[in-house]
Amino acid sequence: MPQPSTYDYAVVRVVPRVDRGEFVNAGIILACASQGFLQARIELDEARLFAIDPAADVEAIQAALAVIPAVCAGGAAAGALGKLSLRERFDWLVAPRSSSVQTSPVHTGRCGDFEATLEHLLERMVRTPVG
């Protein structure tokens, strides 16, 4: 197992009506600049979204969410943002904004397996608990 490294993460939130402040956790962004890791996984639970806003524009929200993994990956597909360093892309993704897609404050952790940690955070913070 690789040596543990410090990472930062934020929860991606969908806020269909910014004026109400209600949100659904829809993904995780995880970054470790020292290991060259920046990845996001998005899993929007549309039923939970519609429970807080039956008129939510899911297509627009899905389009906004799709940008996040593209920016994480960098390169030409991410446009001008794709040319930024990994840390700059993470900082841009987690910057506060008043839109339907926002992030939580940034949290820090330490692990040796970023993929497993990303999966754990999705299970704990995003997916609907079973039973």
**pLDDT digits over 54-84, tens only?**
999 999 999 999 999 999 999 999 999 999 9
In a domain, 66, yes or no: yes
CB atoms within 10 A of CB 119: 13
Q: According to the model, what pLDDT value does residue 57 have?
A: 96
Whether residue 39 contacts residue 52, with contact meaning beta carbons closer than 8 Å, is answered with no
Cα dist from 51 to 1, 85, 125, whole Å: 42, 38, 18
In a domain, 120, yes or no: yes
pLDDT at 25 over 70: yes
pLDDT at 130 over 90: no
In a domain, 117, yes or no: yes
pLDDT at 98 over 90: no
Burial of 7 (0-12, 13-18, 19+ CB in 10 A): buried
The predicted model scores a pTM of 0.95
Give residue 19's domain range: 5-126
In a domain, 131, yes or no: no
In a domain, 61, yes or no: yes
In a domain, 38, yes or no: yes
Residue pointed to by tokens 């897609």: 101
| Number of domains, the chain | 1
In a domain, 36, yes or no: yes
pLDDT at 2 over 60: yes
In a domain, 45, yes or no: yes
